[in-house]
Amino acid sequence: MARSIHSSAVVEEGATIGEGVEIGPFCHVGGEVELAEGCVLHSHVAVAGRTVVGPRTAIFPFASVGHQPQDLKYAGEPSALEIGADNIIREHVTLNPGTKGGGMRTVVGDRNLFMMGAHVAHDCRVGNGCVMANNATLGGHVVLEDGAIVGGLAAVHQFVRVGPHAMIGGLSAVVQDVIPYGMVFGDRATLRGLNWIGLKRAGTDRETLSRLRRAFRQLFDGDGPMGERLDAVSAEHGADPMVRRIVEFMGAESDRGLCLPESSGDAA
């Protein structure tokens, strides 16, 4: 399949352009960029640095992909941005490469939707099938796991982990980790329950949903220190991989602590 590069586009020497790539008017592609087969760059897209864009990813006008991270500690180190397949990157989205302090890579998986104005900062890890709505922001070093959704104008603090299929409501400020399948929102976001709509859309069966509901209540409405509650839930429901994912997530070391319900009590 033939490549299509508009006459007004600038593709620097050294860039790798795959089969079937379309580069529209007034785009700029740097000399170290790799565009895999079937990528589409609509007009006025700028892709720079050591950036790899996976197959069939579409990038819309005025997106800035792979340019220098917004980190004052960045000193020109040869960091990278890796983007997987079948992503949709809409207008004015910014995706930054990594830094020395974060492993030198920002990594984006497959089939993600980045709506207008979304921002993924340096050293982030974005999984597969995530959605970032208009003007949603990930600070540096954030982990956004598979299927997570970040609502419009929400901001996720540096080093926060967001578990799989979690939902962050619009306009939320998320400063602590969000458990897998959790739903958080608020000026300083608190955990409001599980993301039932997202779980159902993902095809989760009724028995698993019921087990998740019981585990959630034990964890956040039960008595005693959180460590004891985690042990109890693990003993009773640990055979379920989704419950186990929550328990392991909560038990893992965290830079920011956990985003909890306002009435959850001891988080230790």
Long-range CB pairs of 223-230 (<8 Å, 24+ gap) are: 224/266, 225/266, 225/268, 226/250, 226/264, 226/265, 226/266, 226/267, 226/268, 227/268
**Among residues 92, 122, 141, 237, which one is catalytic?**
122
Residue type, 78: P
Catalytic residue among 71, 109, 119, 123: 123
Other beta carbons within 10 Å of 265: 15
Based on the residue annotation, tell me whether 255 is a catalytic residue of this protein.
Answer: no
Tokens of 4: 């299509």
Establish whether 123 is a catalytic residue: yes
- Residue in the structure block whose two tokens are 């500690």: 73
Residue 199, classified by CB atoms within 10 Å of its CB into exposed (0-12), middle (13-18) or buried (19+), is: buried
Q: Does residue 71 carry a catalytic annotation?
A: no
Q: Which of the residues 140, 147, 151, 182 is marked catalytic?
A: 140
Mapped onto helix, strand or coil, the DSSP state of residue 267 is: coil
Tell me how far apart the alpha carbons of residues 248 and 258 are, in angstroms, rounded to a whole number.
13
Q: Which residues contact 143 (CB under 8 A, 6 or more apart)?
A: 124, 125, 160, 161, 162
**Which positions are catalytic?**
122-123, 140
